[in-house]
Each structure stands twice: as C-alpha cells, then as structure tokens.
Amino acid sequence: MKKMLFLLVILGGLSYAGYIGSQFLTHLNSAGYVLIGIEQWTIETSLFVFLGILVALFFMLYFSFRLLGWSFRLPKQIKKRVANNKLNISQQALIKGLVDSAEGNWENAENILIKHASHSGAPLIHYLTAARAAQSRGAFDKRDEYLQFAAEYGDDAEIAVGLTQAELNLSGQQYTEALETLTRLHSINPTQANVLRLLHLTYQKLGDWEALRSLIPSLNTHKVLVEAEVKLIETEVFSNLLRQAAEQKDKNALQTLWAEMPLSIKVMRGVAAIYFAAMIEVGSGAEIEDELVKNLSSNWNDTLLILFGNIQSMDPVLQLENAERWLIGHSDDSVLLMVLGKLSGQRMDYAKAQRYLQQSITLEPNVQSYRLLGDLAMTQGDANAASQFYKQGLELAAGVLVDQIEMLAV
C-alpha cells in the first residue's frame, strides 16, 4: 500500500511538472525541440514526446526490476509458506497430543506428538509430553528415546529434560536412576528449586537420611518448601538417624545426634522416646536419667515414664524418690503407679510395691501391673497367687486383642 501511494505521488509530481512545462512553452509560443545524435544516427522530436518516452522508460525499468526481484524471492516465499503451514499443523498436533494425554489416550498422544515434532516451533514440548505418554503406557525404552531426542535441543534444555526424566524415574520407582540424574543437575545448578525438591524426595525414597540432612539448609535458603514442611522433614531425618544408630547400638552416634538436634525437635515426644529408649538399649540409661527426669517434669508422657522405669540407675533410691515426687501432681496416673511398683520391687520393698501395683490396677487394669504382681508373688514364694495374677493379665490381654480385632472388622 505504501509503495502504491509512493508511485501515485511520483506520477502526480510528473504530471504537475508536465503541466507547468506545457504552460511555459505555450507562453513562449513553442512546443520545444530535442535533437540527439549518435555517430551517423540522429533522433529529432518534440520536448513533450521526449519527456513522455523518459517517463515510460522509467516505469518499464522500475517494473522490470520489481518483477525480477519478485522472481528471485518466489522460491524463498514458497518455502516460508510451506514451513508456516507445517508449523500450524504441528501446533494443532501439539494441542491434540496434550488433550489425548490428559484423557489417557497415551498411544495416540505419543504418535501424533512424535510425527509433528520436527516441524514444531516447540519440539521440546512434543518430546517431553511424548515421553510422559510412553511412561504411562509402560514403554520405558520409548520414553528414554524421546528424552534423548529432547536433550539434543541445546544446553538450555538440559535442566528441563533432566527434571522430566527424574520425575518419570521417581513415578516408575527407579530411584537410583533418578538420583543419578538429579545429582548431575544439582552440580549444574545447585540452587534450582525443582532439582532440590525432587532430590529430597529421592533421598526419602532411598532412605538416605544423612544425605537428606545435608540438603535441609538448601531447602530452607532457597524456599523450596514452606517452613512447616522443612520442619517435618527435619524431624523425620533425625528420627530415622536415631533409629539407625539404635539398630547399630552406636552410643556415640546417638549422643552426637542428640547434641546436634534442634530443641524444637528434642521436645517432640516420639523423637525423645527414640533417643532415650536407644540409650537404655545400649546400656547407657544411667547417663540419660537426669535428662529424662527433666523432660518428664516439663513434658509428662506415659512412654517416657515407662522408659524411666526401665533405667538401671546408679542410685535406685534417688530414682524412686524422683518418681514419688511426681505423685503430687499425678496421683491418679495408673502408669506412674505401675512404675513406682516396679521400682519398689527392685528395692525389695515388696509391701510398697504391691500397694502401688494394686492402686494402678484399681485405676486402670493393665497387663504390665498384673505381670509385676505375679513376679512379686513368685519372689515371695506364693505360686498360687502368682498364677492368679498371670491368669488375670492373660485374660486382660486376650480381651484387648479381641476388641482390636472387632474394631478392625468394623
């Protein structure tokens, strides 16, 4: 449009110039005269004819060059139009592939995406989506092949392809392969949020708690997860590390972990119980007795109370006195009374032990108190009484078991 307007302006200008020239010549009473000589040839014409020939020659040359330029550009334009058509078709194929994938038509999605990937403006999306479709139908070889194709689209695609591969490995329970990919990506970009997120999930699946522990600062620093989620992960990590150290009966590892553990995790009942139980198991209960007393004083808990009763104290008298002080605020606690009965029996104060155990059963019948009463009766040589206590304990245990089975049946 602009070119046409430009031509019209030129024509208008030439017409106006011709009009001015004709007026000037009319005023002179002369039509003008042009003579051109070339060797023995001469051309003689009027000025208006000569100007007309010049204008015609100009337009002939102009349109000739335009036609020549158009003919040179024609193959490129045809190629561009074909490429645009292919691009449009590939975009439609991508949409169709995404819809089929969302609807679970994995094979159809895979076929249409791969068929048009080479002509697409976003081939990476074609191959990654096709890889997910192949994974969904169990074609792991095809999945890896498509991921390899996707990886060929430059270094910028390496993180995206690697993340997709790791996600698919995780969903396919190929944790070792996922870890290998994520470790490589982490070395490329240690701050990439999705790499850190998938890496922590992989460590969880593999049970590599020490590695996950070392990753926690990065999860915090780069805001990969909300603070509450990081706290849960940290709790899980320390709990499992404590269990591993307990299984290995590694006292030093237990104490080191407890010393390095944040206070917010130490006060959690389950975590503290793991530590105290592990220390008692390795024969170091006396070393944690004072800490367990402080913990119970501020965080009353039946599990910790039972653990306290299992400590082989260096000072049994003080151990019993500490437990009896708790009666001030917990006189109706059947578990405390059971522990007091056990500790009294260990000190061979059988009368006090029997009194505490009977009080415990009166408040809440429990198998442990019946067993301790049976042991106490056997120590005193009363086999009949011991038999009765053991029988009552077994009946109570059987009743509890039946109740649990009935609850599961419902």
Looking at the DSSP bridge assignments, the partners of residue 209 are none
pLDDT at 410: 46
The CATH number that domain 321-410 falls under is 1.25.40.10
- What whole-number distance in Å separates Cα of residue 319 and Cα of residue 312? 9
Does CATH place domain 160-225 in 1.10.540.10? no
CA distances from 219 to 214, 223, 254, 316 (A): 10, 6, 25, 46
pLDDT band (50, 70, 90) for residue 32: low
d(CA 225, CA 86): 42
Nearest to 32 by CA among 50, 19, 46: 46
The mean pLDDT of the chain is: 81
Question: What's the rounded mean pLDDT across residues 165-189?
Answer: 91
Specify the pLDDT at position 310.
93
Distance CA 397, CA 3 (A): 100
Across 132-141, 182-191, 243-252, 266-275, least confident range: 132-141
Predicted confidence at residue 97, as pLDDT, reads 61
Confidence of residue 5 (pLDDT cuts 50, 70, 90): low
Closest of 341, 349, 339, 358 to residue 380, by C-alpha: 349
Domain boundaries, given as residue ranges, for the chain: 104-153, 160-225, 235-314, 321-410
CA distances from 355 to 113, 143, 349, 363 (A): 80, 71, 10, 12
Among the residues of 137-174, which ranges form H helices?
140-151, 158-171
Alpha helices in 152-226 (DSSP H): 158-171, 175-188, 193-206, 209-221
Tell me what the mean pLDDT of segment 332-359 comes to: 93
Tens of pLDDT, residue by residue over 207-254, are 999 999 999 999 988 888 888 899 999 999 999 999 999 999 999 999
Decide whether 160-225 matches 321-410 in CATH topology. yes
Q: Which DSSP state fits 153?
A: S
Q: How confident is the model at residue 85 (pLDDT cuts 50, 70, 90)?
A: low
More confident call, 370 vs 154: 370
Any idea which of 34-48, 155-169, 326-340 has the lowest mean pLDDT? Answer: 34-48
What is the C-alpha to C-alpha distance for residues 226 and 265, in angstroms, rounded to an integer? Answer: 17
Among the ranges given (68-77, 237-246, 293-302), the one the predictor scored with the smallest mean pLDDT = 68-77
Looking at per-residue pLDDT, the higher value among 223 and 119 belongs to 223
Q: List b or e across 341-352, with b for residues whose CB sees 16 or more CB atoms inside 10 angstroms.
A: bbbbbeeeeeeb
